[in-house]
Amino acid sequence: MNAAPASARNDKPAVVAAAMRVLADSGLPGLSMRRIADELDIQVSALYWHFPNKQALLAAVSAEIVGAGSAAGEMDAVARALRDRLLMFPDGAEIVSSSLALGLLELPARDDLATAAQAVGLDAAAAEVAADTVVHYVIGCTFHEQQRVHAAIVGAADASVDMTPAGIGTRPDGFEAGLAMVVAGVRAAAGAKK
Amino acid sequence: MNAAPASARNDKPAVVAAAMRVLADSGLPGLSMRRIADELDIQVSALYWHFPNKQALLAAVSAEIVGAGSAAGEMDAVARALRDRLLMFPDGAEIVSSSLALGLLELPARDDLATAAQAVGLDAAAAEVAADTVVHYVIGCTFHEQQRVHAAIVGAADASVDMTPAGIGTRPDGFEAGLAMVVAGVRAAAGAKK
DNA sequence: ACCTGAACACCGTTCAAGT
DNA sequence: ACCTGAACACCGTTCAAGT
């Protein structure tokens, strides 16, 4: 066994792990600094020794959600893999979207998508645009779907909410159909280039 | 002149107008029920006579942002018009995105996009998918861009923030290039159908 | 029909101080 | 290196009561 410390104190990864647990069973609305601190049986203020602010902690959570490893493959495969990771945690898309926009997160899938786009015939600049476009589509679509889940939960508690408004993407296979169109657009851009 | 009421009390549109003013000069983080109440010189609790909760008020704000009128035209024109409206207010894309996902907002541009997609050769079902895909792209891209503006403001105040991380869509013309790809994808889907 | 006043149960963040 | 305890300046929402 490794030398156990006298008092069991927490390090950065332990704080992130606690945050993942809170996220998993309470979602983003429940992911407060106080709830995370409670999970670790420490005071809220102690969290600020590990992270300068909540956004930084959320960025670490985001990195955990999207994972570290690069996965090669065709564009749709990479897109589906990204989506699957976002779906693993409640509000995953929203958290990642915000960290990404704030410039606090590296997205491995973005490089994978750019590589796949180049393999299909795009030059470097166009491949970046293609990667960003696919990322926006995947995150936008998944974000929307996950918020809808949340609305459904609230709606179940409060039956007065109309649960079938004329909205976007009610059926889950909308993702696949839309993705096919986006990928077809990338291929078309490659074809036009030649 | 129309008969002025003895005491100048507020109706629903007045509350929304106040909210738009607060949004315009403080953004979404500043758009609290208390700030809106202050803008009208009333108590916070008075707002709950007009709207059941903050989300409902935000939905009314969203409707104001996206506008009421349907605008016919090609897909890219409709997409650009939607984007322009989202850009008219700080965090416009985020607010609209959330109202949309919660099923609290009708988006006129969605119907316009579906119509345009049918005009290009898609059947009704595929046209809906195409419309949703374009909407997701426009909102995702604009949301990202607007969050980046906000990050830049925070970054300007706190110079320790790295302002040029390897992120998505730093250049504004990324929107046009990505939109072209998405629209090309829709056209490709129409071509394949024939 | 529209508003007040007060309360409840929360937030993120800071800071001096402890070990 | 990691945490406590207390405070500050906020939140959204509810409710009885007023006019």
Q: What is the pLDDT of residues A66-100, one digit of tens each?
A: 999 888 899 999 999 999 999 999 999 999 999 99
For chain B, percent of residues with pLDDT exceeding 70: 86
Q: In whole numbers, what is the pLDDT of chain B averaged over residues?
A: 89
Q: Over 90: is that where the pLDDT of B11 sits?
A: yes
CA distance A173 to chain B (A): 10
CA distance B62 to chain A (A): 14
Cβ–Cβ < 8 Å for B190, B149:
no
Nucleotide lying nearest to A48, CA to C1' measure: C13
Residue type, position B53, single letter: N
A90 and A41 in a single domain? The answer is: no
Residue A57 lies in a domain: no
Q: Over 50: is that where the pLDDT of A1 sits?
A: no
B101 and B179 in a single domain? The answer is: yes
CATH code for the domain in which residue B171 is found: 1.10.357.10
Query: Nearest residue of A to residue B127 by CA position?
Result: A178
Q: In whole numbers, what is the pLDDT of chain A averaged over residues?
A: 89
- The one-character DSSP state at B79 is H
**Length of chain B counted residue by residue:** 194
A122 and A86 in a single domain? The answer is: yes
Cβ–Cβ < 8 Å for B22, B30:
yes
Determine the 3-state secondary structure of A11 from DSSP. coil
Q: Over 60: is that where the pLDDT of B5 sits?
A: no
CA-to-CA distance for B150 and B91, rounded, in angstroms? 9
B127 and B160 in a single domain? The answer is: yes
Residue carrying the six token digits 């600020």: A48
- The one-character DSSP state at A169 is -
Query: Nearest residue of A to residue B114 by CA position?
Result: A168
CA-to-CA distance for B64 and B56, rounded, in angstroms? 13
Residue A34 lies in a domain: yes
Residue A61 lies in a domain: no
B33 and B90 in a single domain? The answer is: no
Cβ–Cβ < 8 Å for A114, A93:
no
The residue ranges of DSSP E strands in chain A, in sequence order, are none
Query: Nearest residue of A to residue B187 by CA position?
Result: A185
* pLDDT score of A193: 58
Among protein residues, the one whose C-alpha sits closest to the C1' atom of C2 is B9
A43 and A82 in a single domain? The answer is: no
B105 HSE (CA, 13 A, CB side): 29
Cβ–Cβ < 8 Å for A181, B133:
yes
Do the Cβ atoms of B188 and A186 come within 8 Å? no
The interface residues of chain B toward chain A in range 15-44, judged by CB-CB distance below 8 A, are none
Strand D footprint nucleotides (protein C-beta < 7 Å): 1-7, 10-16
Residue A156 lies in a domain: yes
Round to the nearest angstrom and report the end-to-end CA distance of chain A: 61
Which of these, B78, B66, B177, B180, lies nearest to B119 by C-alpha position?
A: B78
B24 and B103 in a single domain? The answer is: no
Tens of pLDDT, residues B147-172: 887 777 776 655 544 445 455 655 56
* pLDDT score of A2: 42
The interface residues of chain A toward chain B in range 69-128, judged by CB-CB distance below 8 A, are 97-98, 100-104, 106-107, 110, 126
**Environment class of A26 (CB within 10 Å of its CB; exposed 0-12, middle 13-18, buried 19+):** middle
B77 and B137 in a single domain? The answer is: yes
Does at least one atom of strand D sit less than 7 Å from the CB of B129?
no
Cβ–Cβ < 8 Å for A15, A47:
yes
CA-to-CA distance for B153 and B69, rounded, in angstroms? 33
CATH code for the domain in which residue B39 is found: 1.10.10.60
Which value, in Å, is the radius of gyration of the alpha carbons in chain B?
Answer: 20
Residue A185 has its nearest CB partner, among B132, B165, B182, at: B182
A150 and A94 in a single domain? The answer is: yes
Do the Cβ atoms of B168 and A135 come within 8 Å? yes
Cβ–Cβ < 8 Å for B175, B141:
yes
Which token pair is B187? 């056209």
CA distance B123 to chain A (A): 13
Nucleotide lying nearest to B50, CA to C1' measure: C2
Torsional class of A121: left (φ above 0), alpha (ψ -120 to 50), beta (otherwise): left
Cβ–Cβ < 8 Å for B155, B163:
yes
Residue B59 lies in a domain: no
* pLDDT score of A69: 84
Cβ–Cβ contact A180 with B under 8 A = yes
Do the Cβ atoms of B132 and A162 come within 8 Å? no
Cβ–Cβ < 8 Å for B86, B93:
yes
From residue B167, alpha-carbon distances to A56, A72, A107, B3, B78 in Å are 16, 20, 8, 57, 27
The spacing between the Cα labelled CA in B43 and the C1' in D18, in angstroms, equals 14
Neighboring chain B residues of A101 at a CB cutoff of 8 Å: 143-144, 147-148, 151
Range of the domain at A162: 66-193
Query: Nearest residue of A to residue B55 by CA position?
Result: A151
Name the pTM for this structure. Answer: 0.91
Residue A108 lies in a domain: yes
**Mean pLDDT score, A3-28:** 86
* pLDDT score of A142: 95
**Environment class of A39 (CB within 10 Å of its CB; exposed 0-12, middle 13-18, buried 19+):** middle
CA-to-CA distance for A126 and B178, rounded, in angstroms? 9
Cβ–Cβ contact A178 with B under 8 A = yes
> How many domains does chain B divide into?
2
Residue type, position B12, single letter: K
Residue A76 lies in a domain: yes
A128 and A173 in a single domain? The answer is: yes
**Environment class of B1 (CB within 10 Å of its CB; exposed 0-12, middle 13-18, buried 19+):** exposed
B81 and B38 in a single domain? The answer is: no
Which of these, B68, B63, B69, lies nearest to B51 by C-alpha position?
A: B63
Determine the 3-state secondary structure of A165 from DSSP. coil
Tens of pLDDT, residues A172-190: 678 999 999 999 999 999 9
Neighboring chain A residues of B132 at a CB cutoff of 8 Å: 141, 168-169, 174, 178
A77 and A26 in a single domain? The answer is: no
CA-to-CA distance for B34 and B39, rounded, in angstroms? 9
Residue B56 lies in a domain: no
